[in-house]
Amino acid sequence: MDLLITTLATFITFYSYLLIIRVLLTWFPTINWYNQPFAALGQITDPYLNLFRSIIPALGGIDFSPILAFLVLNLAGELLRTLTHLPIVQGF
């Protein structure tokens, strides 16, 4: 069970890095999101970000949804990391 939790926590950390790269690249308007590797990055990260874009609309042309996306992802990662430190309770 620890292996699964550790693997999920590592995946969340890696996915957070991908989200950071995705958000930073949006600052460059000349990037063509239909060319590789940007298209692959968009296919990986946009479904998760779209969940939060439907909750928080862009205000004044600025998309604040990645902030909530990072918050939820970090909370999930911290929850998984704390689960690895809990003692295993045996059943009766």
pLDDT mean by block of 10 residues, the chain; 92 residues? 84 93 91 91 93 87 89 91 67 50
Tell me, what's the pLDDT at 92? 47
pLDDT at 39: 93
Contacting residues for 22 by C-beta, under 8 A, at least 6 apart? 41, 42, 45, 46, 49
pTM for the model? 0.81
Give the pair of three-digit tokens for residue 20.
Answer: 């950071």
Burial of 17 (0-12, 13-18, 19+ CB in 10 A): exposed
Domain residue extents for the chain: 2-85
